[in-house]
Each structure stands twice: as C-alpha cells, then as structure tokens.
C-alpha cells in the first residue's frame, strides 16, 4: 500500500481492517519518525498509542481505516479514522481481562480527542515534544504568546471534544 498523504511533516496511510495492520502501522510510524530528533521514550509512546488506536479501529471500526501522523514544532499528533459512526466506549475490564484497556492506555500517554465526521469518526492523540525555537515572527502568531500582536497569517482552527471516560 502506498502513502496516502505525505508532506514535509505529515504522513498518512490507508490501512485494511485486518489485525496484521497493527504491526504494519507501528513500523510505518517508526520509519516516519526516524528523521526527527526524538528520544526513544517519546517514539515508543507514540508507537504504543498507534497500536492501540489502530487495534480499536480494526476491532470496532469499519473500513476504510486511515492513519496519519503530523509532526508539529511542539507536538506529534497521531490520527486514526474509520467509517464506523459508532462512538468510542471505554471498556470496563475486570483485573483478569485481556481486553478493554486500550483507550485508558492512550489517554495515559497523551491527550485523546474524538471527532465525529461523515461518515465515521476521527480519533487522535497528541504528544508534547521538546519545543523547537521559532523565529519571533512565527511566535507572534501563537495565541497567548507574550508577543502575540497578530501577524496576518491565517491560522486554521478546529473544534472537537476531548475524550473523558466516565469515572
């Protein structure tokens, strides 16, 4: 399968609804992140979360599944989409159960977001990475930054809901 999307800092791939795709997804992400100066712990955390999100899409979602990785200056965003309109429902596993912990694992490593789309849903997690110094002209575009006076550069925004499992 070929790359779905590829830009300087955006990578994406279509995935089949097959459990073998979980390992393949980890390998694709490992290769995509290899050119970035990331510590082993962060890279391992991203790979683990990719495994959990792709597993969830394979087991509970519907084809076509897509995986995307966005490497931003201060974070890495991993996004998995599938065609199922079914909402995410966190498992309530007993201590001896082998399944049902995926979303809790994802949320323990990074921020987890869910966005309904037509058709299906999009689930993504973000990981903070050590910031890269940006030129002052770009820092001015970041809302809340002390030099933020507006730079005339359109900033894209999106709205979604942060996933919070019931307690």
pLDDT in tens, 86-144: 877 666 766 776 666 666 666 666 666 767 676 788 888 888 887 655 445 555 555 55
CB half-sphere exposure, 120, CA atoms < 13 A: 15
Per-residue pLDDT of 21-43, as tens digits, reads: 999 999 999 999 988 888 899 99
pLDDT greater at residue 51 or residue 85 = 51
Q: How far is CA 20 from CA 17, 23, 55, in A?
A: 9, 6, 10
Structural domains of the chain, with CATH: 5-133 (3.30.565.10)
pTM (two decimals) = 0.69
Residues in the chain: 167
Residue 149, pLDDT score: 41
């Amino acid at each position: 399968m070929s790359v779905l999307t590829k830009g300087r800092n955006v990578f994406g791939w279509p995935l089949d609804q097959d459990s073998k795709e979980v390992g393949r997804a980890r390998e694709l992400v490992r290769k995509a992140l290899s050119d970035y100066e990331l510590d082993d712990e962060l890279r391992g955390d991203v790979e683990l979360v990719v495994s959990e999100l792709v597993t969830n899409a394979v087991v509970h979602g519907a084809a076509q599944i897509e995986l995307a990785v966005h490497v931003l200056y201060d974070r890495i965003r991993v996004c998995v989409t599938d065609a199922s309109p079914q909402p995410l429902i966190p498992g309530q596993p007993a201590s001896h159960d082998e399944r049902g912990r995926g979303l809790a694992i994802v949320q323990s490593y990074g921020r987890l977001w869910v966005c309904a789309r037509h058709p299906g849903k999009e689930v993504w997690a973000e990981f903070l990475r050590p910031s890269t110094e940006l030129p002052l002209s770009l820092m001015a575009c970041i809302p809340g930054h002390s030099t933020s006076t507006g730079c005339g550069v359109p900033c894209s925004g999106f709205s979604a809901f942060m996933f919070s499992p019931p307690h």
